[in-house]
Amino acid sequence: QRELSMRLLEQIRNAELLQSIGHPKTPEEDDVAQRLGQLMDQLRRQQSALGELLASQSQEERPTPALQEPNEHDRRVLHQALKGQGEGLAHLRDIIELDLRDLGIMSASEERP
């Protein structure tokens, strides 16, 4: 495919060189130039598709970090984070319980004349 691409580019350069020095174009040359352009477009699309397939294959072969087994360090960090969250939630629960107790005291004192 690379060799075909190189030959195609060489033919296009030759045609452009002949055109630039004033060589008249024949209808056949126009047809060939148009066909060469179509072939180049097709070749670009195929190369693009091949590049996408190779990239996709590379991604499939490479393990994603999310799917790997966590190591000891990762487990320790996760444990510490969860422990900190648990402590934070316990602290918030204690604050809410104190606030509820205070609200109960305030509402009881308002009910008394």
Render 15-52 in DSSP notation, one character per residue: HHHHHHTTPPPPHHHHHHHHHHHHHHHHHHHHHHHHHH
pLDDT of residue 113: 63
Whether residue 25 is predicted with pLDDT greater than 80 in this model: the reply is no
Instruction: Summarize pLDDT for 29-75 with one digit per residue, the tens.
Output: 778 778 888 888 888 888 888 888 888 888 777 766 666 777 898 89
Average pLDDT, the chain: 83
Q: Indicate the residue type of 11.
A: Q
> Exposed, middle or buried, 91 (CB in 10 Å: 0-12/13-18/19+)?
exposed
Give residue for tokens 């994603």: 64
pLDDT of residue 37: 82
pLDDT of residue 63: 66
The CB-side HSE value for 104 (13 A sphere, CA atoms) comes to 6
pLDDT of residue 89: 93
d(Cα 43, Cα 37) in Å, to the nearest integer? Answer: 10
Q: How confident is the model over 80-103, as a mean pLDDT?
A: 92
What residues does each domain of the chain span? Answer: 1-60, 74-113
